[in-house]
Amino acid sequence: MLPDGSYVMSQTQVADAIGKRSGSVHEFVNGKSSEASSLQGLPFPKPVLPPDHNIPVKPIPIKAVVPYWVYWSRL
């Protein structure tokens, strides 16, 4: 959960859950599939640096996680 109360997963968590590389999330969000088009206008939080990390985490809104997983379940 982010400080504003919104729930997210990291880009890596989203991709690892279905055995994909983390870059595939970014490619999906910028793609032209019907699932990705449903994300137009959805705000994506800026990367955050958790206290116990030295690399920023790229948060993905939960509303974007499900379409990503649905897209890959159809292939």
Q: What is the pLDDT of residue 23?
A: 93
Domain range annotation of the chain: 8-73
At 28-74, the pLDDT tens digits run: 999 999 999 989 899 999 999 988 889 999 999 999 999 999 999 98
CB 11 within 8 A of CB 21: no
Q: Please give the DSSP secondary-structure letter assigned to residue 72.
A: H
Backbone angles phi, psi at 12, to 5 degrees: -65, -40
At 28-39, the pLDDT tens digits run: 999 999 999 989
What's this model's pTM, rounded to 2 decimal places?
Answer: 0.86
